Every structure is written in C-alpha cells, then in structure tokens.
C-alpha cells in the first residue's frame, strides 16, 4: 500500500538545495509521530532507539488513542506490553 505524503513534505522535497538526507530523516520522524500505522504493521519487529530500553528489540502491536505505540518486549522470558512514542522506534531489517 503506497504512503500518502502531505503537501508540505512534497514541497520541501521539490525545493532546490534541500539535502535529501536531512529532510528524509526529519520527515520520517514526523510521520512516525503523527501516523505510526503508516510505517509499522502489527507483528513487525522493531528496535527501540532512545531511552532506557534503547537497543532492545520488540514486536509492534498497535497505536493507541494518544498516538503512542504499543509494543511487546521480552523481559525475563515473559512478554511485557509497553507504550512508547513511535519516534523512538525503528523497523528491524
């Protein structure tokens, strides 16, 4: 399924002199915050990129009503549900 991009993102992409890597990182973070379902699907393996759990892999479950992501971590060999900002997640692989 193709992603829909906002007009502001498209205009920044088309503007001359814009570094592709700069806008790509910023816009991906913005998209993750505003619409995590566009980047992650239930069951996707993700890695936490920031905070005390940085570097730990988890399974993406869903987004809640407050635009946070619900993930499952394995702690002490038990699945633990956790809510986290989607900007702190990156898809594995």
User: Within a domain: residue 1?
Assistant: no
What is the CATH classification number for the domain harbouring 11? 2.30.30.30
Per-residue pLDDT of 13-72, as tens digits, reads 666 555 555 556 555 555 555 555 567 889 999 999 999 999 999 999 988 777 788 999
Print the domain residue range for 67: 7-91
- Helix (H) or strand (E) segment spanning residue 8: helix 7-14
Q: Total structural domains in the chain? A: 1
Gyration radius of the chain over CA positions: 15
Tokens of 91: 């898809």
Q: Report the predicted TM-score, pTM, of the whole model to 2 decimal places.
A: 0.60
User: Within a domain: residue 62?
Assistant: yes
Per-residue pLDDT of 73-91, as tens digits, reads 998 999 999 999 988 999 9
User: Within a domain: residue 85?
Assistant: yes
- Chain-centre distance for alpha carbon 72: 15
């Amino acid at each position: 399924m193709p992603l829909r991009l906002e007009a502001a993102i498209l205009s920044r992409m088309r503007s001359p002199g814009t570094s592709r890597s700069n806008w790509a990182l910023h816009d991906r973070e913005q998209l993750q915050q505003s619409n995590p379902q566009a980047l992650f699907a239930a069951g996707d393996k993700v890695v936490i990129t920031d905070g005390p759990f940085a570097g730990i892999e988890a399974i993406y479950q869903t987004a809640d009503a407050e635009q946070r992501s619900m993930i499952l971590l394995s702690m002490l060999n038990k699945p633990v549900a956790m809510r986290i900002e989607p900007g702190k997640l990156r898809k594995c692989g």
